[in-house]
Structure 1
């Protein structure tokens, strides 16, 4: 009997209606989780829509920008093809055959089985459910209707659902939770910081997903995780922050799970670095991971940047300070006979040195004082 009623209703509807056909390559827009009438309503709402392809198996809707009749349509058993004029007639047909007396906040509509039902259109002014308006009633899904919220809930939000005839009931078996929230009993509750839920869900997930390593959410209620920025990292999942790369290391990639140690000869003096700096003249680092470069010790020098060692002062030269890029010549009356000298020695008795930068003193028959510059 129900099949007879359905066919009788459809026979009254004008326009083109082809069961088992669709139009290819004319796509204007597509929707998922919609009913046949909702698909038509979407077409009516778009002035460029001339026809629809409705998939009765997965409840998907395709709006076409062309109306193609007869041989222009392809055979697809799971589809129903309707032109725009049929959609207008289908909308008026729903009103014609829906004669229930509904409450002020409801409207009469035919379900997918062409049975009249009172469908909520807006919240009752005394309702305790916030942020619900007619346009946020979920499109038809097979035989059911769904409800979602206008904005993500600030803490949690109570949702209504409906039975298979599209009539609202006060139970919560099929809540539609906003992205970033999960179904906690009768409420959609925000995912805690460090976790996310990236999609709306009809049945409701009972838990959220940890952000992977290299990602974070800074607070509750996020549908996605942020990547750690350059110069930062996160080695653990489920975190609400990223750590800055410590001094001596850097990061050049988003979503880094670790930092890279600065190579020998370089350093990074501050945290959160995205590159390392060559050690300046007179400085070095001999191993990776230094935040600061090491000054060359007394007796040593380095006149190039980015070096891993310092050079000892040659004989006849010295360096009495750290961090120098060259050595000084020993003065007259002094000498240095070994490499890496931090100071020069005075010429002993019976010797002298009248030149600079020498590694020895000259002999003298006269017992002069130490450090003599002449004989």
Structure 2
């Protein structure tokens, strides 16, 4: 018997866990184990020929979870599909494993599952030799006896999800309903899908949720409805749709959002499938508008759906839809036609085709739609003067800011700080920063020379760089600080000088250098600091480029010394630049330079 084999295995595991226990405790635990084994044997006897693959009583499994884990195994039912049975360690029972190849998910047991079609049931024989492989009736179950004999026995019909027992037939619940249980009987077991859900086919265990852009307001339905134009919904399972707000629209059904009305269009109401064009005399230049704006004074708009209004000098009220204009300029004789504004009150200059040339005439569109010229004759333009019957340009360096002037004396010289580089100019150009012009009537400006600068337009002179600063190239708008190690004591210079040997400077923009203090020196020019005199050397003066060695009979053993020390009694030093004195018992005075009797 398979149960007996499982009991023996479990008894061995129990004995293994009892090692080290006292004799009295050992006896108690052995008694409990034998009681359990007896219960398992009794269960096998009550169950007839069925092996450990038959379901065990949950009360026994609750105390010995590992027995249940070993006892529950895969089985193949002949109802509809292949299933697996596993031990549920949370409620101590054997139960179906609902993880299926068909995609349904649910309780997972120990994450073991088999294919949900009979064609794959036979593959279980390699891992579960006693797997049933009979085709039983709908109300029967296939089991394996202790001698590996397969039988079918009646267990009561277990109709699958979405079906109910109708006599001896499992009947599908109709579309619009579902049945999320197995083993149900009677058509009353079918449950209507709630609002926001549906089943499109009969025999469904669960209802599908309405997708975004769709809704279902009633229960028991086989489909969802798309949101109508002018509405939307952006969540699943909706029972109704939302109206598009004012300024927005949805043109087609089934939308998940609404679009802004484009520029030139508006929508003042909610729940609309389109936007309205702004009427003539109105405009809007933003998206999502709920209204249009009136064209302001002196503008008009004759068309609908506009994003702007056109200028019109005789549009004397807001929201004008028309503008009175003069004829095209080509109806006027003796002028060169060009694109000009033709509204009433608007004036335009035209090039004349008659002498003097080149010249212009000013025309105005009057209130009765007729062109009226301002001058009896064509006028020489800015920068030109009348010379006989020709308009002559003023030369470079001069300008003429008026029209209709005669004679070369009308041209005006540009003042200092200004220039005209070309002839025929009506106005002078200003000198840019970094440049100047000290004279009048000039055709160009001069760059500030090196050592100077100017940082304003229209300059008539440049400024010198102050001491401590320089400008290396012409046309500068500012000066640079002298770098560290360099100085400049004069103004207006194009470069800085390096600090000479024996001096230093460690800040920018210096006008002088500092002397190295006594005990220090700087050997080369352009230094930012001084070095200490090394041991054996000294310097008593400041501003020096080198240090002196200590003379014979003297020494110093620190850096940066300003003097040397005499060799003490009984020591001597015959050489210069030393950091110590040598011992000598014959040296009977300080500062000895030799060690001898004579």
TM-score normalised by length of structure 2: 0.36
Residues of 2 paired with 1:182 and 1:134: CA distance?
15
In the alignment, which residue of structure 1 is the partner of 2:510?
Answer: 307
- Name the count of aligned residue pairs: 239
In the alignment, which residue of structure 2 is the partner of 1:298?
Answer: 501
In the alignment, which residue of structure 2 is the partner of 1:180?
Answer: 383
Residues of 2 paired with 1:225 and 1:302: CA distance?
48
Structure 1 residue 273: Cα displacement: 1.4
In the alignment, which residue of structure 1 is the partner of 2:314?
Answer: 49
Secondary structure of 2:458's match? coil
Residues of 2 paired with 1:122 and 1:302: CA distance?
73
CA spacing shift, 1:233–1:202, aligned 2, 3 Å:
closer
**Partner deviation per Cα, 1:332-373 (whole Å, 9 max, x = no partner):** 121111111011122223322222111112223745222222
CA spacing shift, 1:105–1:310, aligned 2, 3 Å:
closer
Secondary structure of 1:218's match? coil
Residue 146 in structure 1 maps to residue 377 in structure 2: yes
Higher Rg: 2
Residues of 2 paired with 1:309 and 1:302: CA distance?
8
Residues of 2 paired with 1:234 and 1:258: CA distance?
7
Match of 1:270 among 464, 469, 473: 473
In the alignment, which residue of structure 2 is the partner of 1:236?
Answer: 439
TM-score normalised by length of structure 1: 0.55
Structure 1 residue 287: Cα displacement: 2.1
Structure number having the greater strand percentage: 1
CA spacing shift, 1:182–1:369, aligned 2, 3 Å:
farther
Residues of 2 paired with 1:263 and 1:185: CA distance?
56
Unaligned runs of 5+ in 2: 1-296, 299-310, 318-323, 328-332, 336-350, 365-370, 582-598
Residue 372 in structure 1 maps to residue 578 in structure 2: yes
Secondary structure of 2:377's match? strand
**Partner deviation per Cα, 1:34-79 (whole Å, 9 max, x = no partner):** xxxxxxxxxxxx96438xxxxxxxxxxxxxx59xxxxxxxxxxxxx
Greater shift, 252-261 or 202-211, is seen at 202-211
Residues of 1 paired with 2:419 and 2:397: CA distance?
5
Structure 1 residue 328: Cα displacement: 0.3
Residues of 2 paired with 1:270 and 1:262: CA distance?
12
**Partner deviation per Cα, 1:118-173 (whole Å, 9 max, x = no partner):** xxx974xxx898667988899756xx6111xxxxxxxxxxxxxxxxxxxxxxxxxx
Residues of 2 paired with 1:260 and 1:203: CA distance?
41
Structure 1 residue 105: Cα displacement: 6.9
Residue 331 in structure 1 maps to residue 534 in structure 2: yes
In the alignment, which residue of structure 1 is the partner of 2:70?
Answer: none
Residues of 2 paired with 1:246 and 1:298: CA distance?
31
CA spacing shift, 1:47–1:361, aligned 2, 3 Å:
closer
Secondary structure of 1:182's match? strand
Tell me if the contact between 2:361 and 2:373 (Cα under 8 Å) persists in the aligned partners. Answer: no
**Structure with bigger RCO (C-alpha 8 Å, 6+ apart):** 1
In the alignment, which residue of structure 2 is the partner of 1:211?
Answer: 414
Structure 1 residue 252: Cα displacement: 1.2
Residue 341 in structure 1 maps to residue 531 in structure 2: no
Tell me if the contact between 1:217 and 1:240 (Cα under 8 Å) persists in the aligned partners. Answer: yes
Residues of 2 paired with 1:321 and 1:370: CA distance?
25
